[in-house]
């Protein structure tokens, strides 16, 4: 058993608490990882807020991390002690019908136990003050050591800077893949990206790499426009600058609508606007943002009858074990940006400040 520091969420709506936790050794087909760096994501904040129906407390959150394998359980063959790895919240077992289907990356092997905050055998590897602590998204990267299933880990280039590539565990991969895998953005096309946070910037990067000729960034926070343009946005607009609905503004700007649109916020009203901003006959809109539990999307069926397509994406459609090492290689060879997404570096005990910076849009 390893004793180490972790940021524990004891209950919903309260700040994280830095505690000493006990991390049990890995069981069969499990891997214990020393986490070197982790990022914060809105999904962590969503669960912490209490709005997530799958949220269980007390829990160690975090799902964008990178580290070194400390030890492996029985039967683990893909990684060994000392390997550099990124934990994966969408695993890849290679055996389920989802893994065998090239159309999806949604491995279901451990979905039920992962959703309940436990390891595949139904138990937890974390305890604190005599209490069992739940796992989160199969990763729990807000701990100096964590235990994950062996199908939930990608071995990456040992030379990669872990305080950067941890972002490939969720946000950057999600946005980039939404453009190149899910939408399959074509050269010369026109794109609209709703929400210019980390995921939105990654979508812009993907659209640019795919050869889009016009990329319109949309956000009510104008402080985000300069960064969006650095990533490839050709122009940025705010929905608050016009009395007309944003979809009408975009249709006027683009002679009938965009070829591809992306919703990167998790707001069902914006999802509708993003679809309706698409061009009749061929426009494709991808939902990337995660809406709150129980919310529903709506539009007039005529929008779809007249040739628009509504799609969704999880982790950018990447088959995780296969793709994350390749994404790290693309970063190392400067095909994709990662460093530019990092705005602040904080010590672990300032993790609550990191959440405040995220909530304030900084």
pLDDT on residue 324: 98
CATH of span 2-169+319-352: 3.90.180.10
CATH homologous superfamily for 174-314?
NAD(P)-binding Rossmann-like Domain (3.40.50.720)
Q: Show the DSSP H helices in the chain as ranges.
A: 42-49, 97-100, 111-115, 162-165, 171-177, 198-209, 225-231, 246-253, 268-276, 301-305, 320-332, 351-359
pLDDT on residue 54: 83
Q: Whole-model pTM? A: 0.96
Q: Return the DSSP state at 89.
A: S
pLDDT on residue 201: 98
pLDDT on residue 108: 98
- How far is Cα 179 from Cα 316, in angstroms, rounded to an integer? 8
pLDDT on residue 276: 98
> In Å, what is the CA distance from 127 to each residue of 8, 22, 55, 131?
10, 5, 18, 5
Is residue 287 within 8 A of residue 311, CB to CB? The reply is yes
Residue range 253-308, pLDDT digits in tens:
999 999 999 999 999 999 999 999 999 999 999 999 999 888 999 999 999 999 99
With H, G, I as helix, E, B as strand and everything else as coil, classify residue 278: strand
Is residue 67 within 8 A of residue 85, CB to CB? The reply is yes
> What DSSP line would sit under 177-229, residue for residue?
HIIIIII---TT-EEEEE--SHHHHHHHHHHHHTT-SEEEEE-S-GGGHHHHH
Residues of the chain with pLDDT under 50: none
Torsion angle (degrees, nearest 10) of CA 262, 267, 273, 277: -10
pLDDT on residue 362: 87
Beta bridge partners of residue 119, listed in sequence order: none
Domain locations in the chain? Answer: 2-169+319-352, 174-314
Residue range 311-337, pLDDT digits in tens:
999 999 999 999 999 999 999 999 999
């Amino acid at each position: 058993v390893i004793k180490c520091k972790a940021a524990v969420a004891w209950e919903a709506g309260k700040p994280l608490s830095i505690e000493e936790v006990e991390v049990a050794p890995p069981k069969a087909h499990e891997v214990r990882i020393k986490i070197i760096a982790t990022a914060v994501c809105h999904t962590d904040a969503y669960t912490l807020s209490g709005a997530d129906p799958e949220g269980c407390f007390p829990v160690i959150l975090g799902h964008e991390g990178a580290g070194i394998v400390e030890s492996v359980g029985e039967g683990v063959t893909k990684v060994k002690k000392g390997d550099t790895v990124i934990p994966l919240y969408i695993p890849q077992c290679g055996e389920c019908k989802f893994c065998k289907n090239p159309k999806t990356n949604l491995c279901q092997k451990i979905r039920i136990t992962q959703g309940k905050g436990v390891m595949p055998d139904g138990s937890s590897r974390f305890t604190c003050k005599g209490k069992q602590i739940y796992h989160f998204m199969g990763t729990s990267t807000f701990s100096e050591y964590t235990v994950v299933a062996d199908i939930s880990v990608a071995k990456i280039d040992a030379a990669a800077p872990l305080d950067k590539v941890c972002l490939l565990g969720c946000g950057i991969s999600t946005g980039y893949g939404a453009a190149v895998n899910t939408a399959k953005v074509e050269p010369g096309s026109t794109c609209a990206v709703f929400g210019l946070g980390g995921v939105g910037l990654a979508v812009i990067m993907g659209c640019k790499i795919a050869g889009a000729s016009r990329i319109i960034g949309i956000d009510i926070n104008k402080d985000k426009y300069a960064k969006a343009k650095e990533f490839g946005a050709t122009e940025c607009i705010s929905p608050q600058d016009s009395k007309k609905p944003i979809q009408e503004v975009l249709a006027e700007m683009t002679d009938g609508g965009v070829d591809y649109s992306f919703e990167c916020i998790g707001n069902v009203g914006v999802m509708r606007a993003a679809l309706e901003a698409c061009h009749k006959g061929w426009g494709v809109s991808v939902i990337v943002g995660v809406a709150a539990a129980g919310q529903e999307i709506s539009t007039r069926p005529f929008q779809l009858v007249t040739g628009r397509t509504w799609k969704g994406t999880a982790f950018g459609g990447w088959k995780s074990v296969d793709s994350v090492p390749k994404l790290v290689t693309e970063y190392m060879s400067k095909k994709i940006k990662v460093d530019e997404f990092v705005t602040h570096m904080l010590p672990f005990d300032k993790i609550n400040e990191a959440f405040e910076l995220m909530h304030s849009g900084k």
